[in-house]
Amino acid sequence: MGQASTRSNRSVVYETLRRKVLTLELAPGASLSENELAASLGVSRTPVRESLILLGEEGLVRVFPKVGSFVSRVDAERVADAQFLREAVELAAFDDIPETLDADLLAELRANLEQQREPGLDIEKFFALDEAFHHGLLRLSGHGRAWSTVVAAKGHLDRARRLGLHETNGVGRFVDEHHAILDAVVAGDISSARASLRAHLRAVFDDIEKTRRRSPELFAADDGTVPVRRSIAVWE
């Protein structure tokens, strides 16, 4: 296997494992066996090991010597940091929204909102539409390329958001908030759009607290405890 092919293989494994962590398919606290992951992905242990190292650098995986690797539990401080970055970027972009909006992009955003109203929309489909909507707001301001920086920084936040969506058992409130934000932008009321967006983005903290009260085992503790490997791994 050539060097380029090796890098490609490692990239595919990394992206696959990262997606599984962010979508909660690999839940917070789950144990990670290099052998089992390699077998399920049809690769050798090397790209799995390298991918786990990269995910560890992002804080999405933790490695405990002589114990093993585990999906990290959701870290409230990392969530807050990612939220701070996201809010700073998205709110600042409103300053550069032109008076005349791009008609094609506006139509795309409205179509996105219509799809968000579809009955029976599952969480992952809504999440994808939500991401596209917020990216679209940045594109309206001419700062669409900044979205990749936001995405790279918000792994813990995305897990917390998904947990919150499972907790609320519905997305209607978020869709209504999206409509209010876009309506304010179209009306040229950037002040209202900014206030609505800020409240919308910060709603995740309330959802996190509800989830933490119900399932504290999904969140990081501050006591330095080490996980115990079992068939279903948990921290004690």
Do 89 and 198 lie in one domain? The reply is yes
Do 90 and 176 lie in one domain? The reply is yes
Do 99 and 209 lie in one domain? The reply is yes
Beta bridge partners of 235: 227
| CATH code assigned at 8 | 1.10.10.10
Residues of the chain with pLDDT under 70: 1-7, 169, 222-236
State which H helix or E strand residue 75 sits in.
none
Report the amino acid identity of residue 6: T
Among the listed residues 148, 151, 133, the one whose alpha carbon sits nearest the alpha carbon of residue 82: 151
Do 95 and 200 lie in one domain? The reply is yes
Report the amino acid identity of residue 162: R
Q: What angle do CA 163, 167, 168 make, to 5 degrees?
A: 120
Do 205 and 225 lie in one domain? The reply is no
Predicted local distance difference test score (pLDDT) of residue 208: 81
Do 168 and 201 lie in one domain? The reply is yes
Predicted local distance difference test score (pLDDT) of residue 71: 96
N residues, the chain: 236
Do 136 and 24 lie in one domain? The reply is no
Do 165 and 224 lie in one domain? The reply is no
Do 87 and 114 lie in one domain? The reply is yes
Do 69 and 80 lie in one domain? The reply is no
Predicted local distance difference test score (pLDDT) of residue 231: 42
Predicted local distance difference test score (pLDDT) of residue 225: 56
Predicted TM-score (pTM) of this structure? 0.84
Predicted local distance difference test score (pLDDT) of residue 141: 96
Predicted local distance difference test score (pLDDT) of residue 169: 67
| CATH code assigned at 150 | 1.20.120.530
State which H helix or E strand residue 63 sits in.
strand 61-64
* Coil, helix or strand at residue 133: helix
Taking the C-alpha atoms of residue 18 and residue 12, their distance in angstroms, rounded to an integer, is 10
Structural domain including 27 reads: 3-73+220-235
Block residue for tokens 């990239």 = 11
Quote the number of domains for the chain.
2
Predicted local distance difference test score (pLDDT) of residue 211: 84
Residues in Cβ contact with 23 at an 8 Å cutoff, skipping those fewer than 6 apart? 124, 162
Predicted local distance difference test score (pLDDT) of residue 187: 97
Contact 97, 136 (CB under 8 A): no
Do 57 and 111 lie in one domain? The reply is no
Among the listed residues 95, 142, 132, 91, the one whose alpha carbon sits nearest the alpha carbon of residue 110: 132
Do 199 and 91 lie in one domain? The reply is yes
